[in-house]
Structure 1
Amino acid sequence: MRFQIVQGDITKMRTDAIVNAANTSLLGGGGVDGAIHRAAGPELLAECRTFHGCETGQAKITKGYRLPAKYVIHTPGPVWHGGNNGEPELLQSCYRSCLSLAAQNHCCSVAFPSISTGVYRFPLKLAAEIAVKTILDYCRDHKGIEEVFMVCFDSNTKAVYDEAFKKETMAI
């Protein structure tokens, strides 16, 4: 499995699936969620309506519609409330649920955003450590996913993910 941390726009990724850092309604919002819904077109919203939402830490999959990706995997990340309300475990569950759905749908490549680190205020350094470890552990234990991208919106986020990756791979 190849893991790459890149800076860019997740809606432009030519992967089998991209992950949407959604809210529990799955009906669009701001940040990554809004950008994905705008780029995919109204068909995405129509399909999301059929799900009647999604619980935090779980994931649901839709077609990619007007996106270069074949699928969008939607996962509501946890809102940060200080870290004593299961937020780290829920974030870990987001990544595992997405990877599991990707594998079930024969996706060889997946692109993730930094889940919950925007308006949900999850501390970036902790989120990066959880994301990198969870992705590497999952892909080490499961076959099928060949390429995973962490798509960072800005250079600061990319630097934090680069550091988390370096730390995790040195620990192995």
Structure 2
Amino acid sequence: MKFLLNSTVIEIIQGDITQSEVACIVNAANTSLLGGGGVDGAIHRAGGKQILDECIRIRNAQGNCPTGEAVITTGGKLKAKYVIHTVGPVWNDGKNNEREKLSNCYRNTLNLAVEKGIKSIAFPNISTGIYGYPKDKAAEVALKTVVEFVEKNETIERIQFVCFDRENYDIYLGGG
């Protein structure tokens, strides 16, 4: 599905984010930035050692990446030129500011993309895997945050939500 908001095309697709033909893909990273399971592991495997090496340099310079924050590396062997790594919150029944932290992931990622002149970006379903964030609640936060951002900033021309599974895809089509 595709729709236009101001001058930004927003797409909801089902597929593999590592195959996205955008300038930048987003990694749902862990605080160590050293790769892991799910989308994080898939991006590190597909992008190769260069992404890990850059993550290690970032970590050595600043320490772990806090929840809700974002850092950027090249895309290594990926089609995307860049990867923005953001750390989503672990779900704790909504008792630990998870909504605000997840919203910060999207907002900080988009701000970093604008700062770097990135015109197209693809997001995975952040925090919905091992971190246990309910998929419907996560989709609602993602869509709301991105729409609010685009209403104020038209710099990014194309934003994709890449849903790995059919369940997330159907949730996004329903608006979260």
What interval of TM-score do these two structures reach, taking the shorter chain for normalisation? over 0.9
Q: Which residue of 1 aligns with 2:126?
A: 115
Match of 2:72 among 39, 53, 61: 61
2:38 maps to amino acid:
G
Q: Distance in 1 between matches of 2:108 and 2:16?
A: 22
SS at match of 2:39: helix
Match of 2:34 among 2, 27, 34: 27
Cα RMSD, aligned residues only: 0.8
SS at match of 1:50: helix
Per-residue displacement from partner, 1:75-94 (whole Å, max 9, x unpaired)? 01000011011000000000
1:122 maps to amino acid:
Y
Equivalent residue pairs, number: 165
Match of 1:142 among 142, 149, 153: 153
1:90 aligns with 2:109: no
Identical aligned pairs, as a percentage? Answer: 52
Match of 2:48 among 28, 41, 49: 41
Q: Return the offset for 1:143.
A: 2.2
2:120 maps to amino acid:
S
2:58 maps to amino acid:
F
Q: Distance in 2 between matches of 1:136 and 1:108?
A: 16
Q: Return the offset for 1:97.
A: 0.5
SS at match of 2:83: strand
Q: Which residue of 2 aligns with 1:5?
A: 12
Gaps of 5+ in 2: 1-7
Q: Which runs of 4+ in 1 moved over 6 A?
A: none
Match of 1:73 among 80, 84, 94: 84
Per-residue displacement from partner, 1:15-46 (whole Å, max 9, x unpaired)? 01000000000000000000000000011101
2:15 maps to amino acid:
G
Q: Distance in 1 between matches of 2:89 and 2:40?
A: 14
Q: Distance in 2 between matches of 1:154 and 1:147?
A: 21
1:103 aligns with 2:114: yes
Q: Distance in 2 between matches of 1:17 and 1:24?
A: 20
